[in-house]
């Protein structure tokens, strides 16, 4: 899509950022810190309103979940950038090959320019602020497209950003999938997309037309593998906790569990005990989240009905009502060994349904994971260090938490991102700074150097020198 074919307001917003970039291409630390501080204040001042807006978009998202899984990690990302950004942006000393001494070399991080960020609906705040903090600390100008499925949050965030930032520093774009597609076709210097794998493919195709580099933070089916002998009560508690957070609408939620065949019944009981003690009021529990909208509720209900109709045993995790279509809520359930071609086994579930896949030998479980598209996350429950090391060496995944769930995402020092079908590139901490920077290699020639030896016509001395260089 050419710039002339884009809606004038979108093209203008982009041109305005590009002009500001040309006028001030390399913001100093004070400018970057000021932007990050404004972001920090925005979060602190608007926290209650943001929580309320997200609650309204979900039709019931517990405030504590938004605080824990969105506000806190967002603040961590901004504070980390403020704490370390000056060091990240400093030139990084690099070695020079011995033949070039006394020259010197360095890697100089430069802002990429105008970057785009596309945000999904499931953690709308954290998936705005996390990438944004990384893009700002790296000195970029930023345009963000928010999800059409979070209209209250998107309207509030647009208003807050307009109050705290000039449009040439940071600008929010709202609208449907058509606007998102136009947004992805802007000639950004980098585009970070968080969302589904099918839409990720479209984003990459649109970016390719401009040779815009992409970071794709996608989804997929993330397995939890419980190995023989691992304490089941602990594994069940950690897996249930991760699956019920945000009612399973989490990119790194365990999508299915690989379990030793003889452990299914004890796992079911442990999972039920854990879910019922955590959410005593079941579907009406104040700590349980609604499904984002009726369409997604219907998708999950259809998946559950399909598995049941095909003879899958369904083990409910809550007592009492299992569905509330008016509030788009669905109770969590374990699905015991559903047919491989069922919806729940084919597509990312993104809800509180959890298939259990029995296995006979750990090697079979590993082969099962290996035979499928690379997942965004892997949860490996094991007390055997040698077997764990083997799993970590041989199973591909975007990220891994061993003997727990979700927590690798909360480590700012770990790169966060997918692999294969679950995405490409990464961010968080300095990894995010580097993603949004051009790490420019610079070679500084010394006054005294031997380059004149290497000019044609090539001398005998040069030939001897080259022979020496080839030997050492």
Measured from the CB atom, the residue of 169 and 348 that comes closer to ligand NAD is: 348
Q: What stretches of 57-198 adopt beta strand conformation (E)?
A: 92-94, 104-111, 114-118, 141-145, 170-173, 190-194
Task: Give the residue with the Cβ less far from ligand NAD, 27 or 375.
Answer: 375
Please indicate whether residue 251 is annotated as part of the active site. yes
Least distance in angstroms from the C-beta of 396 to ligand NAD: 15
Q: Which range, of 26-34, 39-47, 119-127, 389-397, touches ligand NAD by CB under 6 A? A: 119-127
Contact 113, 189 (CB under 8 A): yes
Q: Closest-CB residue for ligand NAD?
A: 219
Stretch that binds ligand NAD, among 70-78, 86-94, 189-197, 444-452 (CB under 6 A): 189-197
3-state secondary structure of 264: helix
Taking CB under 6 A as the criterion, the residue among 31, 164, 196, 403 binding ligand NAD is: 196
**180 lies in the binding site for ligand NAD (CB under 6 A):** yes
Interface with ligand NAD, residue 121, by CB under 6 A: yes
Strand partners, 331: none
Per CB under 6 A, 205 contacts ligand NAD: no
Nearer to ligand NAD, 348 or 382 (CB): 348
Kindly tell me which of 53 and 118 has the beta carbon lying closer to ligand NAD.
118
Secondary structure (DSSP) of 202-253: HHHHHHHTTT--EEEE-----EEEEPTTS-HHHHHHHHHHHHHGGGG--TTS
Distance CA 354, CA 335 (A): 6
According to CB under 6 A, which one of 119, 136, 336, 356 is a site residue for ligand NAD?
A: 119
* Nearer CB in complex with ligand NAD: 222/274: 222
Of 142-150, 226-234, 332-340, 431-439, the window that binds ligand NAD (rule: CB under 6 A) is: 142-150
Q: Tell me, rounded to whole angstroms, the distance of Cα 335 from its chain centroid.
A: 27
**Shortest distance, position 261 Cβ to ligand NAD, whole Å:** 29
Report DSSP state, residue 427.
B
Q: Which of 376, 395, 421, 424 binds ligand NAD (CB under 6 A)?
A: 376
Q: Is 177 in the site for ligand NAD (CB under 6 A)?
A: yes
Tell the smallest beta-carbon distance from residue 200 to ligand NAD (Å).
7
Q: Beta strand 92-94 with 104-111: parallel, antiparallel or unpaired? A: antiparallel
Q: Tell whether residue 348 is a contact of ligand NAD (CB under 6 A).
A: yes
251 is a contact residue toward ligand NAD (CB under 6 A): yes
Which of 148, 306, 319, 347 is in the footprint of ligand NAD by CB under 6 A? 148
Residue from 128, 147, 274, 312 binding ligand NAD (CB under 6 A): 147
Which H or E element spans position 323?
strand 323-324
Q: Choose among 344, 351, 368: nearest CA to 225.
A: 368
First-to-last alpha carbon distance for the chain, in angstroms, is: 53
Cβ closest to ligand NAD, residue 131 vs residue 282: 131
Catalytic residue, chosen from 171, 251, 289, 342, is 251
154 binds ligand NAD (CB under 6 A): no
Closer residue to ligand NAD in complex, CB, 117/334: 117
Tokens of 143: 């345009």
Burial class (CB in 10 A: 0-12, 13-18, 19+), 107: middle
Catalytic (active site) residue 217: yes
Give the burial string for 178-200 (b: 16+ CB within 10 Å, else e). Answer: ebbebbbbbbbbbbbbbbbbebb
Is there binding between residue 435 and ligand NAD (CB under 6 A)? no
Which residue from 423, 425, 429, 432 is in contact with ligand NAD, where contact means CB under 6 A?
A: 423
Element (H, E) at 88: helix 72-89
Total site size for ligand NAD, rule CB under 6 A: 28
Distance CA 1, CA 202 (A): 13
Angle formed at CA 48 by CA 42 and CA 51, multiple of 5 degrees: 100
**Three-state SS for 359?**
strand
122 binds ligand NAD (CB under 6 A): yes
Entry field: residues in the chain: 472
By CB under 6 A, tell whether 236 contacts ligand NAD. no
Residue corresponding to tokens 């208003």 = 159
Catalytic residue from among 217, 315, 348, 412: 217
Q: Which of 351, 418, 429, 432 binds ligand NAD (CB under 6 A)?
A: 418
- Measured at the alpha carbon of residue 38, what is the angle toward residues 33 and 44, in degrees to the nearest 5? 125
Pick 212 or 227: Cβ nearer ligand NAD: 212
Contact footprint for ligand NAD (CB under 6 A): 118-122, 127, 145, 147-148, 177, 180-181, 184, 194-196, 199, 202-203, 217-219, 251, 348, 350, 376, 418, 423
**So which residues are the catalytic ones?**
217, 251
């Amino acid at each position: 899509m050419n710039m002339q074919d884009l809606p004038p307001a979108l093209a203008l917003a982009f041109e305005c950022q590009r002009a500001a970039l040309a006028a001030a291409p390399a913001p100093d630390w004070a400018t970057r810190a000021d932007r990050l501080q404004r972001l920090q204040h925005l979060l602190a001042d608007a926290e209650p309103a943001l929580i309320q807006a997200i609650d309204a978009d979900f039709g019931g998202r517990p405030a504590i979940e938004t605080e824990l899984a969105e506000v806190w990690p967002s603040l961590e990302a901004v504070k980390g950038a403020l704490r370390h950004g000056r060091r990240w942006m400093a030139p990084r000393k690099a070695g020079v090959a011995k033949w070039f001494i006394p020259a010197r070399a360095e890697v100089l991080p430069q802002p990429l320019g105008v970057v785009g960020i596309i945000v999904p609906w499931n953690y709308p705040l954290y998936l705005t602020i996390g990438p944004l903090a990384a893009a700002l600390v790296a000195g970029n100008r930023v345009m963000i497209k928010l999800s059409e499925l979070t209209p209250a949050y998107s309207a509030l965030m647009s208003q807050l950003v307009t109050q705290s930032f000039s449009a040439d520093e940071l600008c929010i774009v709202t609208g449907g999938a058509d606007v998102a597609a136009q947004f992805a076709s802007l000639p950004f210097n980098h585009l970070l997309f968080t969302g589904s794998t099918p839409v990720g493919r479209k984003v990459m195709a649109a970016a390719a037309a401009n040779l815009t580099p992409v970071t794709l933070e996608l989804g997929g089916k993330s397995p939890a593998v419980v190995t023989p002998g691992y304490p089941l009560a602990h594994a069940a508690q950690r897996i249930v906790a991760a699956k019920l957070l945000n009612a399973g609408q989490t990119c790194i939620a365990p999508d299915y569990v690989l379990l030793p065949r003889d452990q299914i019944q004890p796992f079911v009981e442990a999972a039920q005990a854990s879910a019922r003690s955590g959410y005593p009021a079941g579907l009406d529990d104040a700590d349980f989240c609604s499904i984002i909208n009726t369409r997604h509720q219907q998708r999950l209900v259809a998946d559950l009905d399909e598995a049941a109709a095909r003879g899958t045993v369904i083990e409910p995790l809550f007592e009492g009502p299992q569905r509330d279509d008016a509030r788009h809520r669905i109770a969590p359930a374990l699905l015991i060994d559903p047919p491989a071609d069922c919806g729940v086994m084919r597509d990312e579930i993104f809800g509180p349904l959890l298939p259990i896949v029995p296995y006979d030998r750990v090697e079979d479980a590993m082969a099962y994971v290996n035979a499928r598209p690379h997942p965004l996350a892997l949860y490996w429950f094991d007390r055997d260090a040698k077997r764990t090391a083997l799993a970590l060496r041989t199973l591909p995944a975007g990220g891994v938490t061993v003997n727990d769930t979700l927590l690798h995402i909360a480590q700012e020092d770990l790169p966060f991102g997918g692999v294969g079908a679950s995405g490409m590139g990464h961010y968080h901490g300095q990894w995010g700074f580097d993603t949004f920077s051009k790490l420019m290699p610079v070679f500084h020639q010394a006054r005294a150097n031997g380059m004149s030896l290497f000019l044609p016509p090539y001398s005998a001395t040069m030939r001897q020198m080259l022979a020496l260089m080839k030997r050492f």
